[in-house]
Amino acid sequence: MLKTRRKPVRLGLESLEERCVPTIFSYYWHPAGGSTNYAGSGNWYDQAGNPTGVVPGTGAIAIFGGAYGTNSPCTIDDSNTVGVLALRSTTAYTSTLTIDITYSVGQFDTGGASGSYWDSGNIQFATGSGYSNPELDIYTPYNSTTKGFRIDGGTVNISTSYTGRVDVFSGATLTLGFEEGNVFWGANLWTQAATGGNAAGEVDFISGGTGQLQWDYVSRTSGSEPTIANHGSIYFLATDASSTISGISSYLNGVPGNARFFNNGLVVFQGGAPTTEGLVFQNGDAFSWGELDITDGTTVLFNQTYSDAAYGSTTIFQMNTGSTTEVYNGDLKTSGNLAFTAGYLKYGNAAGYTNSAKIESSSSTVYALNVDGGTLESDISGGGTTLTLHNMQTILGLNNPSTTKLQFDVDNSSGTIYGKITSDNSLTIDSTAFSHVTVTVNATGGAPSAGTYNFFDYTALNATFGVTWSNTGWTGWSSGPSLGTSHLTAIA
């Protein structure tokens, strides 16, 4: 029987999609011969404790301290140095990292998987090599495990005599923890606005223990103070159960300074611990809005002022019709006047808390709450609410009565709940013969429960030409609303 020989088949190789996962290398700062040069290739050890002969780049992790690091100072001043995937220090590192160029962290840290942390040692900025504006640019995205770029100890000194800046880019998160050390700031903190659908840059101030952000700038003149420019989100998460004051303090050459906080994003104070915001606060500007929230049972002291031609010594100035300040179960304390020339000042309840919304003077001095072109409004979405004013004179419509509004919301759906204000000082309404402040009672849910409703209690009324009333849903009321010598009242 004959067998048929099979025709041979030529074998070949097919090119497949490359699926190599890049290796992330960690480099330990271990300088040779007393060198402090970050760019020195002989100054870094690898994960096995051997000299690498290379400098960490944008795909690597630079570690100060740790298993193979030494406790030695380091200076970044070579223009060829761009940055790293992640920057870290351990508690073994107590020396100083000096930045004298623009140095980026986390630009290629996808999803914040690597994350950066600074647990000990110092970061400072200097201008010794001709770079006038050294920067630490943070791109590290937030990750529930790594927390973005997290600073939990040591000192960040941006610096007290030189310029310097930290930029937190869109989608990035910088977490500053004060449990183990203060953060000393002397220049600018900028957060970037959201672009391309990404989240805006975010800074979290995690306070506790005795930590505080010390905004201390020496060798400066008044008028050249540094700033926070927020276009993203900044959270003050005060959790300290002791009597320690967390937050920001501001000093110029050792005395209280006049640094500015320009907010064109979101600033939130929460956590329940007393907090100081020691920078003059501007909420919004001519081009964009800002939102300031005080909640969670937190007391915030605004103690730095600037001299305003219209409103005097002022701690908070709000402008832009889209700007909002919300005091929901919080306490806004001030060491100067407040000026709301546009947008909204709202008060109300927060879930899980007993109603407590306050605006008060930080001392026995009486300051002015100026609502002059904006709206002072109750929010009863969380139930009936009361704003308590202590040592605050309420002034409505000082220069702009026609765009000034006082609004009280009422809900009669099941009983009557409403928003009200109680003050131990006077109410002044600066209307003119042709331009009045508007007082609105916005009622929903049908007829109210019978009784007398005091929407605003004050000690004296100063009103030359009265107000314009604007009532909505106003059914079942027998009288009012009306302004008396000590109450704004309606009768059902």
Tokens encoding 267: 């600033």
Q: State the pTM of this model.
A: 0.78
DSSP 222: T
Q: How confident is the model at residue 163 (pLDDT cuts 50, 70, 90)?
A: very low
pLDDT tens string 341-373: 999 999 999 877 777 899 999 999 999 999 999
Do 465 and 435 form a contact (C-beta atoms < 8 A)?
A: no
pLDDT at 192: 63
Tell me: pLDDT of 247 over 90: no
pLDDT at 4: 54
Q: Supply the DSSP string of 269-298, one letter for each residue.
A: EESSS-EEE-SEEEE--SS---EEEEETT-
Q: How confident is the model at residue 161 (pLDDT cuts 50, 70, 90)?
A: very low
pLDDT at 180: 41
pLDDT at 369: 98
pLDDT at 366: 98
Amino acid letter for position 187: A
pLDDT tens string 362-408: 999 999 999 999 999 999 999 999 999 999 999 999 999 999 999 99
- Average the pLDDT over 135-140 and give the result: 82
| Residue 172: alpha-carbon gap to chain centroid | 14
pLDDT at 406: 96
Contacts of 233 (CB under 8 A, 6+ apart): 191, 200, 201, 202, 203, 265, 266, 267, 268
Do 272 and 278 form a contact (C-beta atoms < 8 A)?
A: no
Amino acid letter for position 376: L
pLDDT tens string 182-213: 555 544 676 766 554 445 666 777 655 444 55
Bridge-based pairing state of the strands 275-277 and 255-256: unpaired
Distances (CA, A) of 160 to 183, 225, 230: 12, 11, 21
DSSP 43: G
Whole-number mean pLDDT of the chain? 82
Q: How confident is the model at residue 136 (pLDDT cuts 50, 70, 90)?
A: confident
Cα–Cα distance for residue pair 436/18, rounded to 1 Å: 72
pLDDT at 15: 58
Which span out of 59-68, 200-209, 231-240, 478-487 was modeled with the highest average pLDDT? 59-68
Contacts of 331 (CB under 8 A, 6+ apart): 294, 298, 299, 300, 356, 357, 358, 359, 360
Distances (CA, A) of 316 to 228, 238, 279, 321, 377: 14, 21, 9, 16, 18
Tell me how long the chain is. Answer: 492
